[in-house]
A and B are shown apart, each in its own frame.
Chain A
């Protein structure tokens, strides 16, 4: 008996510390904060489809990750806290789609966000057509742009990265360009052939800068200096990085949740979770008495474990996820009820209380295992075939809930029940361990 009580005590202390960990919400500074989905915190969720048709299979994953890098840089310019950019493979078997998910917490002005991310402007390096520079300014003004300039074949496809820098002495801003290997070769050839001439940089068909080549550049690095204001230079860098988008993308889904709606949904979810716990708990205590109380304790431990898992994994909580958790609270009780009903049958057959408890656990285990198996299978299938983040969130929480409910029923309930399990044959203990309102 003493041993059992000690292990129960240890269990309770452990559970208490898990609960404290779950409760601890020192907020953003905490190393393990709760992560809220956009439907609860408010913000924008965008799904882009990447057009990878032009790329060979072997280059897709590389292109996707550099796409994700570029978009991430742009999103960072937007000044959002904790944006999320991730690559996802979608589509059904035999028809793989590559997607980019962008989450912008707190942003509801999607037009601006989409413009910032989505445009695939073209970046071109152009040369002045031979003969044009001999014309007078008045004659030049009459010509169309493509009559003045001719493409060099060097485009944004070859640009690796553009960056804003400052002159060490004058503090004037300038923009550095870095080409990839192929681009560096091209750029080298172009600059070698055109020393002293203009190589114009075009964005979306408009000249944004017209530097004059000083010498051949083979390093793949170029500088655009000019009388930039810091703001202008920053915009140019952004635009250049725009042009460097390696894969065309196409917006296929937008979801925006206003902050107030998100907050309302969060409050409603938490409120529902709390009351679900209280009502289920009351039912258990009224119907099953002492075992019921034990089940409520086990349920509290179960809740603490789950919340801790949400923090540790971390699970992004959405309203569907919290719904899954509430559903699993209801189901977690199932194992306890199975055990208690078996226990009662054993008591009826004339077994002593401690033995009835042991036997009850023993006999109920198979049913518990089978009953949870079907839910676990459903959760796994849902998780892997989820077409929306909503369903995925639900499936993950539901899965965690079912698994940890098995754990809490067979370890927590058992330990606690054995610890309180009096030897008494008295009417009181019989009453306390029976259930229902009749007899």
Chain B
């Protein structure tokens, strides 16, 4: 009942976070990575690293178009450019090593043509659309039998609101990180968002399911409990389960974030944020919204 009574506090917290995310997204947007934009990334490691300035000066001699140089690790640089041809790539490496005088190892080279990038964007939108469609079908199916006192489409709408909440916040965080720390959005980030969608819809539905079950029991045994009491009880009954299942998943992902390879660091970070706010929304936002809606309806009917 604590959650239902203090729902306004929890709403404010979410509104604050979602609001801040939307502002960040509208100001800075998301920085697309080469997966989507096309382009090249070179990661090199020096025995002893030259200054950023000297690297910039050296590279400015080549006709690379726009490029950026960023430090990585203790002795490395990540250089982002437009798509490089194999011969231009060779020229860059040659320049970086000052014609072979400075020893360096190329740890990674990744180059993607703009055609593939365009296709990746299309496919990303298609998969987002399909997952959303599947989720809407899933919700319609899950709530086909509920009606009173809140009709079934409202459960669906609230579930969708919770979902939007769960993806807007990680996107907002990545917008901020994109602006300040150069985080880029790649295909794995989109994958993380879709996983978050799948995970959090199910978490929300588990609580709604319980609400439904308890409503049924209420009419069957003529218990005449208030709607908000029933919702509060349902949250309490599913609380431990929601927290625990999310907790084990979060533990596993946190370990991946801390110990895992660099390649999946951003991915696991997006998942950590998304799964956390997803669990939060299914407990503190989804079901309380049912109560709010029902109260509002009551007032209107009077």
Contact = CB atoms under 8 A, between A and B. Distances in A.
Contacts of B116: 47, 90, 252-253, 387
A263 to B, nearest CB: 10
A254 interface: yes
Contacts of B127: 381-382, 385
A391 B264 CA distance: 11
A367 B107 contact: no
A298 to B, nearest CB: 13
B108 A257 contact: yes
Contacts of B191: 320, 382, 391, 394-395
Contacts of A338: 241, 245
B32 interface: no
Central interface residue in B113, B195, B205, by most chain A CB within 10 Å: B195
User: Interface size for chain A: under 10, 10 to 19, 20 to 34, or 35 or more residues?
Assistant: 35 or more
Interface in B252-302: 252-253, 255-256, 258-264, 267-268, 271
Given A252-B116, A271-B259, A260 B253 contact: no
B271 A254 contact: no
A276 B256 contact: yes
Interface string A84-111: 0000001110000100000000001011
B253 A330 contact: yes
Contact of B241 (A91, A268, A337, A381): A337
B113 A387 contact: no
Contact of A275 (B142, B255, B261, B264): B255
Contacts of B234: none
B89 A320 contact: no
A115 B263 CA distance: 28
B263 A320 contact: yes
B251 interface: yes
Interface string B185-202: 001101100110111011
Contacts of B122: 92
Nearest to B112: A253
Interface stretch (B52-60, B131-139, B149-157, B222-230): B131-139
Interface string B227-240: 00000000001001
B90 A92 contact: no
B68 interface: no
Contacts of A333: 245, 248-249
A329 interface: yes
A261 interface: yes
Contact of A260 (B107, B120, B209, B262): B107
Interface in A353-401: 367, 370-371, 373-375, 377-378, 381-382, 385-388, 390-391, 394-395, 398
A110 B245 contact: no
How many of chain B's residues touch chain A, expressed as a range?
35 or more
A323 interface: yes
Interface string A323-361: 100110111011001100100010000000000000000
Contacts of A269: 260-261, 264
A91 B244 CA distance: 42
A124 interface: no
B51 interface: no
A320 B240 contact: no
Contacts of B197: 378
Contacts of A381: 127, 130-131, 134, 194
Contacts of A252: 112-113, 115-116
B86 A251 contact: yes
Given A49-B115, A387-B35, A387-B116, A323 B251 contact: no
Contacts of B124: 387
Contacts of A193: none
Nearest to A389: B187
Contact of A268 (B119, B126, B131, B260): B260
B86 A386 contact: no
B111 interface: yes
Nearest to B257: A272
A82 to B, nearest CB: 21
A378 B198 contact: yes
Interface string A25-65: 00000000000000100000001010000000000000000
Q: Tell me what chain A mostly uses at the interface: helix, strand, loop, or mixed.
A: helix
A120 interface: no
Given A265-B261, A387-B35, A256 B209 contact: no
A337 B245 CA distance: 7
Nearest to B271: A327
A261 B190 CA distance: 24
A283 interface: yes
B245 to A, nearest CB: 4
A264 B122 CA distance: 33
A430 to B, nearest CB: 18
A370 B139 CA distance: 11
A138 interface: no
A238 to B, nearest CB: 19
B269 to A, nearest CB: 12
Contact of B195 (A371, A378, A386, A390): A378
A378 B196 CA distance: 10
Contacts of B188: 320, 390-391, 394
A367 to B, nearest CB: 6
B263 A265 contact: yes
Most buried by B among A283, A341, A398: A341
Contact of A110 (B86, B119, B206): B86
B244 to A, nearest CB: 5
Contacts of A97: 115, 119
Contacts of B187: 386-388, 390-391
6 contacts: A256-B110, A268-B260, A280-B252, A330-B252, A333-B249, A374-B198
Given A322-B264, A323-B264, 15 more contacts: A252-B116, A266-B261, A272-B260, A279-B251, A320-B264, A323-B268, A330-B252, A330-B253, A331-B199, A374-B201, A378-B195, A382-B127, A387-B119, A387-B123, A390-B188
Instruction: Report the 10 A-B pairs with minimum CB-CB distance, sorted nearest first.
Output: A330-B249, A330-B252, A265-B261, A252-B113, A387-B120, A378-B198, A272-B259, A272-B260, A276-B252, A385-B127
